[in-house]
Amino acid sequence: MIGWGFVAVGGFFGAISRFWIGNVVKRLKLTKLPLATLIVNLIGSFFLGYLFAGVSEHIYSLFGVGFLGAFTTFSTMNVEAIQLLNGKHIFTGVFYLGITYLIGVLLAFYGYFLAINLEGVFQTPS
């Protein structure tokens, strides 16, 4: 039952953080690229890779499933890509998908390798 609590608390803060970043980035109006979703998904990729290297079940429930699960968004990314492609922004849509997947995977690997090289950090005692 405690696991559910960790997921719920993490999810609350992840959703609030995503909402806040979305509002801040929308005010900037820098590009047609959906920057808010790109930012949260790339941040989430890095930290999920980091957590994947080995944390306790409670830490993973709180941050991996809860916070990052609510913070990142695969479905919104796909809808935004479709909107770009349907709006005749073909290059921007393909670029958005490409950098999201390519950089996202690279950041996940980087987070993972960073975590395993920080000996003992977030490791559960044996």
Instruction: Please give the Cα distance from 96 to 84 (Å, whole number).
Output: 9
Instruction: Please give the Cα distance from 108 to 104 (Å, whole number).
Output: 6
97 CB-contact burial (10 Å; exposed 0-12 / middle 13-18 / buried 19+)? middle
53 CB-contact burial (10 Å; exposed 0-12 / middle 13-18 / buried 19+)? middle
Cα distance from N-terminal residue to C-terminal residue, the chain: 24
Residues annotated within a binding site = 69, 72
Residues annotated within a binding site for Na(+) = 69, 72
